[in-house]
Amino acid sequence: MPALRALEDAVLDNGALSLMEAWDKRIAESRARSENSAMVNYFYGFHGIAFDIIGVLGFGSSFNITKSGDWTLIHTLRKMSNLVGIKSISPALARLKWLFRDMYSALDYMRNLAHNAQQQRRKEYESSDRKPHDDILQRLIEAHDPSTGEKISSTCMVGEILLLLVAGTDTSSNTLSYTLMRLLHCPNILKRLQQEIRQEFPDISTPIRFGEAREKLPYLTAVLLESMRIDSAVAGYLPRIVPDEGTVLLNKYQIPGSTEILLSLAACHHNKDVWEHAECFDPERFMGEQGELRARDVLVFGYGVRMCLGKNLAWMELYTVMANILRKYNIELPPDATYGPHRLSSNPDAFGEPEHIPIKVLITSTPVDPKRNCRILISEATEL
Ligand code: HEM
């Protein structure tokens, strides 16, 4: 956490502030056309900043996706991730390179990008006039095994940098998208949250920072926890291997050593024995003292030694982006939105809540047809 605080300016500049700059431009263009609000797409907006942040922290400079609107890199990474998925399901099939030519060129492109980023930084690091950096790339370059002094090899470093990009982009950005989607579908919750943020931080000229948001915005904490419970960004299975001596699960299932167990976070988070009205979006369950205890049952970042390495960075992104955009903008769905408070779920367990945008799951989960489903109308809030 202290190391992360040093990175907060980069997270703010390339995250919330960069997104607001892009959205402000769209508002100015709409005003010039005498329109009261601007149409933007939150899914693309959140993806752009998640990539730009990892660009700064892991590759040494922003990918500038938010400013340029150029999504080539995001599509290339997706192709590379699909190849990784195919390799893990059927290594034999994945060896047919001609069949997946496009995906293999994406992998080569991404490897080169990561390789060049670390070579460039190593050169700077070794030259006498190097500038000091305080980012993840630098920490990887300086890291060494405390017992042998061995450093991370170039090849491993490329793997680590690409892992950051795969693990640290879709996860945070989809979590932000699901949170905003749920808020738009529950206007009372959105209203209460905006009131909390605007009352606590009325001075719009100062960006809301992570520590103060976490301390002063309990309802935002509850909304984020509930959003991550109900729509886990990592919705695939997490593998674990039982230790040699075996184990007993739930006091009744004897599992032999070396068994591979798959854990589904989505199933844990929707377990009716654990969560009352599990299919309802209800941030209230995380309010007050009892609510703080319940937060421990949200396993969205995994658990144990393999738990998410970017958990604190993710929290920083979630708090700063949500707090700053919800304070600054009034946000509503366009009149032709397919999903919203007007369209109620037919699932009896959802107790008449709105039907939410369906999701696609591979390893991470993504809302379907985001181009259409994630459009919003924004205008600058005049009264805080
Ligand atoms: C809301 C956002 C995020 C969610 C929900 C999330 C979730 C997860 C989950 C469930 C795992 C697997 C944990 C396990 O097996 O127990 C994981 C691993 C990982 N995450 Fe995240 N993550 C998020 C953001 C990030 C960010 C921003 C980064 C980048 C810095 C990151 C980097 C990683 C890495 C490197 C691993 C692999 C850790 C290992 O295997 O040792 N994650 N994440």
How confident is the model at residue 130, as a pLDDT?
A: 64
Ligand 1 site, residue 117, Cβ cutoff 6 A: no
The β-bridge partners of 234 are 364
Ligand 1 site, residue 49, Cβ cutoff 6 A: no
CA dist., res. 287 & res. 160, Å (int): 37
Q: What 3-state class would DSSP assign to 46? A: helix
Does 374 belong to an annotated binding site? no
State which ligand 1 atom lies nearest to the alpha carbon of 228: 5
CA 25 to chain CA centroid, Å, is: 24
Alpha helical stretches, state H, 150-246 = 154-168, 170-185, 187-200, 210-216, 218-230
Ligand 1 site, residue 227, Cβ cutoff 6 A: no
Q: How many whole angstroms from 163 Cα to the centroid of ligand 1?
A: 9
The β-bridge partners of 375 are 41
CA dist., res. 45 & res. 322, Å (int): 12
238 phi and psi angles, rounded to 5 deg = -100, 120
How confident is the model at residue 237, as a pLDDT?
A: 82
Q: What 3-state class would DSSP assign to 263? A: strand
Ligand 1 site, residue 224, Cβ cutoff 6 A: no
CA dist., res. 374 & res. 66, Å (int): 16
Q: How many whole angstroms from 129 Cα to the centroid of ligand 1?
A: 35
Inter-residue contact 52 to 66 (CB < 8 Å): yes
DSSP 13: I
Q: How many whole angstroms from 16 Cα to the centroid of ligand 1?
A: 21
Ligand 1 site, residue 137, Cβ cutoff 6 A: no
CA dist., res. 163 & res. 248, Å (int): 33
Inter-residue contact 194 to 326 (CB < 8 Å): yes
**How many C-beta neighbours within 10 Å does residue 341 have?**
14
Domains of the chain: 2-380 (1.10.630.10)
CA dist., res. 52 & res. 58, Å (int): 10
DSSP 280: S
Ligand 1, atom 36: closest residue by C-alpha: 308
Q: How many whole angstroms from 319 Cα to the centroid of ligand 1?
A: 17
- CA neighbours within 13 Å on the CB side: how many for 140? 26
Ligand 1 site, residue 158, Cβ cutoff 6 A: no
- Closest listed residue to residue 353, CA positions, set 274, 270, 275, 281: 281
Ligand 1, atom 21: closest residue by C-alpha: 308
DSSP 209: P
- Closest listed residue to residue 175, CA positions, set 109, 236, 233, 235: 233
For the chain, 384 residues long, the average pLDDT of each consecutive 10-residue run is 81 97 97 95 96 90 92 90 86 93 95 92 77 81 92 92 90 96 96 98 96 97 97 85 93 95 91 94 95 93 89 96 98 94 86 87 82 96 76
How far, CA to CA in Å, does 363 sit from each of 137, 237, 263? 25, 8, 13
Which strands form 375-380's sheet, in the order they lie side by side?
38-41, 375-380, 329-332
Q: How many whole angstroms from 169 Cα to the centroid of ligand 1?
A: 10
State which ligand 1 atom lies nearest to the alpha carbon of 136: 30
- CA neighbours within 13 Å on the CB side: how many for 154? 12
